[in-house]
Amino acid sequence: MKHAYIFPGQGSQFPGMGKEHYTSSAFAKKLFEQANEILGFRISDIMFEGSEADLKQTNVTQPAVFLHSVIAFRSIDPSSGSKPDMVAGHSLGEFSALVANGTLSFESALALVAVRAKAMQKACEMHPSTMAAVLALADDKVEAICKDVQDETGEIVVPANYNCPGQLVISGSIKGIDIACERMKAAGAKRALVLPVGGAFHSPLMEPAKEELRTAIESTTFHTPACAVYQNVAAKAVMDKEEIKQNLIDQLTGAVRWTQSVQAMIADGASKFTEAGPGKVLQGLVLKIDKTMQADGVN
């Protein structure tokens, strides 16, 4: 039996997140204070005392979820024998996964997350854009509608998150998403719901952020991983440091192929998935992808 560890992305944050770790664990408190220093502001105060609105700011959300996830992972008792045979993260969660498998140090990964968050925030402000969840429509139909809308209108609209069968998030310009949503419903989607996000993540509209992240990644030390990471854009086991770097860069404008990544992990022997970090979303997605899997979490 192979044990996969998976790490959540933006959207799993909640007020008060991580406070219990801070008050009960010396090592957690040390990581929080380290994070405050690296980021240049007290993210711990926002996580523990901030409102939902405070936590929704991308430059706060991403480091907060990353920090909580790494602490949750490191809180697992090493004597239990639970160590990853493989790792994966959903979007932002890929950075947590790369700390878990030793590719990145905590400090380096947090610095990259901070650059990524700020760059994505800037890209969002440059282009009014959004995302929408499409439910109960086959992936190939969603892909075809996105392509048709782009070809006919010139508006950007692309598949962004393949979360599980029957749940695909699309991303693009506000006009493109509005047109696509109407067509998705006409094609039989149960729902096509615009999401309360501030930009078109995982679309070509993130290109300016991609270049900023590339510069930061190229000046960061990456180590040989202890186990394979199943990256969003590749949806297969990756061990090569240079390939990991390029996939991290490409992820900003490429789709999160979560369904395909989980399927690849199962094909490579995974039978237990543990989600480390806030929330339980990924556990649910794993079971929707394959209900025979064992899925739990530590937060």
Active-site residue list:
91, 202
6: helix, coil or strand? strand
Over its C-alpha atoms, the chain yields an Rg (Å, rounded) of 18
- Tokens in use for 130? 């959004």
| DSSP character at residue 80 | G
DSSP string, 120-182: HHHHHHHS-EEEEEEESS-HHHHHHHHHHHHHHH---EEEEEEEETTEEEEEEEHHHHHHHHH
> Scanning the structure block, which residue is given the tokens 């404008």?
253
Kind plus residue range of the DSSP H or E element containing 285: helix 281-289
CB 200 within 8 A of CB 231: no
Closest of 152, 259, 135 to residue 190, by C-alpha: 135
> Scanning the structure block, which residue is given the tokens 């406070």?
19
> Can you point out the beta strands (E) in the chain?
2-7, 86-89, 129-135, 157-164, 167-173, 191-194, 228-230, 237-238, 270-276, 294-298
270: helix, coil or strand? strand
Say how far apart CA 74 and CA 113 lie, in whole Å.
18
